[in-house]
Structure 1
Amino acid sequence: MPGFDNPLTVSRRGLLAGAGGVAVLAALAACAPAGGGGGGSGAIKFWNMPWGNTQFTPLDKKITLGYKPKSGLPSASYQAVQWANFTTTFASAVASNTGPAVSSGSGTQAFQFSQQNRIAYADHLLESWKSNGMYDDFLPGLLDTMKTSRGYVALPYNLDMRALWYRKSLLEKAGVEPPTDWQSYLDVCEALKKIGIFGYGIAAGAQGNGAQGIVGLMINNGGGLFDHDQKPNCVTPQNIQALEFIVEMVKKGYMDPGSVSYSSSNAQAQWKNDKFAMGFEAPSLAQILGGTVQDDMRVGDPLVSANGTKGALYFPNNIMMYKNTPSQKGSEAFLTYYYQSMKQLWTTSTGAGLPVLRSIAETPEFRADANAAKMVDVWQPVCKTWAAPGNDALFPNVALVDSTPAMSTFAQSILSLKVTPKDALSTLQKAITAGMK
């Protein structure tokens, strides 16, 4: 998974680390009988990932252990699961019925385990939240991303996205205003090139997130990778036009040639060294860069594409419940408490990504970060998931395009100008189709 060299890069998003991880997850989960109450009479085991900086896990554990259940319901225990080998950790634990009752994990993990009949759907819990206002507290469209034909597989928890960032001082040095559409983006890149700065900052190496930024521009133009039937549909006019826009930037020298193999760390160094002035990056970028550069970072407006549309790629990370629990009622009671108590994770600078609840996004502490507030207010409403343009609901096969070798190859082939946009999209579609079950 790209970005593990820094705890605040795309590792926070936590989507599955390629098709190999998916295969391990599915194979191990299939080793034991499906369903079953299990779990004994112990506590509700909550497993969470280190979504932020070093302050995140201690505070998250404190919140969890502060749960005081009603009489007759189990208490909660806490376990932090590290990103390294996390797919195997979850898969083996679930297969042996020693796993959690509630957890976060990869963004597609719930969809994978639901195929193995391991997930306890969240419909009853969400219905109970309608009476206390919690159901309506989610940001627009987020619950729809979790909905399948069998019910809601999980609850939205935190958001990652690929938004447009820029260095304010570098654009001022070039004498230009932030771009608002694709043509003005090209114009700004040209002005930056004249002073030796790259306007299309991207990292397309195996440890980079370049493919996500490229798909984000496809979505920006009304395209994407899947149709309404959840089948790959990559070779479309919208996608070809988006890749032609990227190719134009590469040919005109607006991209650092080294970007084809850059890791996220390489790209971060270029931002710090005044070489990257614009790029489509994670919400945590400014915090990662730190120092005086952090104060210079700004989130721009969503661009209007050549097709006249706005859009971007985002990742609704989630929390799921499992059938293997000492008490389904207990799991739901714990999650009600947790969602009512987790505000501190976003109001005390733990780097937990963007919140999914309006009540958190509206706090003065969160809104003190103008960039984060803008991503929630302006970017989240136009964002779409990997399932675009068909719909926004995730499904198991989106794991085939998230941080996979096929996606890295796709991005590198475009940025190195080795193939035409149409050929790159055709090759990608074949790879996705071959991996589908």
Structure 2
Amino acid sequence: MRNFLRILPLAALLAGAASSAHAQVELNFWDQVWGPGSYSQRAQQLVDDFNKSQDDIHVTYRSVPWANWYETYVTAIASGSAPDISTGAGFQAVQFYSMDAIYPVDDLVKEMEANGSAKDFAPGTLEAMKYDGHYVALPWAIDLRALFYRKDVLEAAGQKVPTNWDEFLAVSKAVTKDGIYGVVSSGDATGMHWILSAMINNGGGLFDADRKPNLTGEKSLAALNFLSSFATEKVLNPASAGYTNDDALGSFNGGKAAFYLSSPSTADQAGKEKDKVGVVPPLTSTSGEKGTIGWINNIMVYKQTEHPKETLKFLRWWSENQKVLWTEGKAGGIPARVSFQQDPYFTENDQVSFVIKNYLPIVKPMSATAGGTFPQLNEIDGDGFMMSLVQKLWQGQPAGEIVTPAQEHLQEIMEQ
């Protein structure tokens, strides 16, 4: 009995130590697919690196496909099984915040401001995460639209790179012949981005300064008429209204069109044709302005987390260590952190470097010219009414005759 009494405390201590060793906080991280297969693989490895770096937190990584992504998160929130943290689309955090599902990251931002690390975020990106007086997420990537051109197509027609809208149409006319067109686009979401980019380029946008729908405003309508002229001037591939983005990209990469509006990594998708792809300097519109559309992708914490302190710790670590998602994982878009943008991976890529230097400073969000962020933007971004509008524009229908239904639908969304 005496020996048993001596052994029992030791056994209890060992049991307690074993329990303590396994008392890790478990976090679930859901991450959208932001690139090719290499992206999710490198993201998993990065999570593994975090797990090895300390003892008190263990993160489980889940790659979430874009198909039905919105339903995936809404269902998880409604059922009480939301992740602790996730990446997401440009307005995901603000919409879910309005549903009381997002945990503000104000304390983390204060810490980063105090030690100066918040200054590493590109101008305007952190403020774009602020809604209702709170930071609802951290920015991690910037997706914007730039205008690309085929050097060989312009050279064959003896044309120079345009600098304004009038020159753009003139060059497009000059190259359109023998099965080659000035412009190729699509009737899906990528084609819709022409609407947003052109309106912002002309100093307009979906809204006025008071956040009222403004598709019919003077500058916005002028931009829509400019797009409609692609078809009426016969410089647009007539199949564009029915094309998907893959169709349009294939046509451009095949040298069948001079101009194509898309993401910063477009040239990298051209394979052996990459050196034939150039970036058009931002065009000056008829109103004398420059600009393009951009989205700032979020990484957010959910209110359902039982471990906000640990989740914020992981969020900060992830934000500061995710450069490899681009340099090794081949993520799309541009990092929200300026220090990442200065990596040779970007600076030695001629096309991407040009986009960062020339387009990034003039990017504006979908909320231009109202500014800020608000929950309706997520629905607008995913609604099909602008795809219907761009399809009609690519068919050459006058903007003044087709914009009213889109304006009314935008008003309905804003009134919800």
TM-score (norm 1): 0.85
> Shift of residue 273 of structure 1?
2.6
Which sections of structure 2, spanning at least 5 residues, go unmatched? Answer: 1-22
1:156-235 residue pairs with structure 2 within 5 A?
A: 156-194=139-177, 196-204=179-187, 206=188, 208-235=189-216
After superposition, residues 119-134 of structure 1 pair within 5 angstroms as: 119-134=102-117
Q: Is the 8 A contact 1:314 1:385 kept in 2?
A: yes
* Other structure's SS at 1:257 match: coil
Paired with 1:422 and 1:154, the residues of 2 have a C-alpha distance of 39
Superposition deviation, residue 317 in structure 1? 0.9
Q: Please report how far the alpha carbon of residue 352 of structure 1 lies from its aligned counterpart in structure 2 after TM superposition.
A: 3.0
1:340 aligns with 2:320: yes
Which amino acid in 1 is paired with 2:160? E
Task: Indicate the residue corresponding to 1:407 in structure 2.
Answer: 386
Q: Is the 8 A contact 2:267 2:274 kept in 1?
A: yes
Is 1:55 aligned to residue 38 of structure 2? yes
Q: Secondary structure at the match of 2:88?
A: coil
Structure 2 CA distance for aligned equivalents of residues 364 and 106 of structure 1: 27
Task: Kindly indicate whether residue 414 of structure 2 is the aligned counterpart of residue 431 of structure 1.
Answer: no
Superposed displacement of residue 73, structure 1: 4.5
1:301 aligns with 2:284: no
Aligned equivalents of 2:289, 2:149: Cα separation in 1: 21
Alignment correspondent of 1:16: none
RMSD of aligned alpha carbons: 1.9
Cα shift at 1:134: 2.1
Tell me what 1:30 maps to: none
**1:12-161 → structure 2 map (5 Å cutoff):** 42-68=25-51, 73-161=56-144
Do 2:179 and 2:256's aligned partners in 1 also have CA atoms closer than 8 Å?
yes
Q: Work out the number of aligned pairs and report it.
A: 393
Q: What letter corresponds to residue 230 of structure 1 in structure 2?
A: R
Within a 5 Å distance, the mapping from 1:236-385 to structure 2 comes to 236-290=217-271, 292-348=272-328, 350-385=330-365
Distance 1:98 1:230 in 2: 35
Matched AA of 2:339: S
Classify 1:364/1:70 alpha carbon distance in 2 versus 1 (closer, same or farther; 3 Å): closer
Matches of 1:41 and 1:68 in 2, distance apart?
10
Contact residue 346 and residue 366 of structure 1 kept, 8 A: no
The AA in structure 2 aligned to 1:158 is: A
Q: What secondary structure sits across from 1:352 in the alignment?
A: coil
Q: Which amino acid aligns with 1:233?
A: N
SS of the aligned residue for 2:312 comes to helix
Using the TM superposition, give the Cα deviation of residue 158 of structure 1 relative to its aligned residue in structure 2, in angstroms: 1.2
Shift of 1:74: 2.6
Query: Can you give the 5+ residue segments of structure 1 that lack an aligned partner in the other structure?
Result: 1-39
Report the AA paired with residue 308 of structure 2.
Q
* TM-score, scaled relative to structure 2: 0.90
1:194 CA displacement? 4.4
CA contact (8 A) 1:43 1:326 kept: no
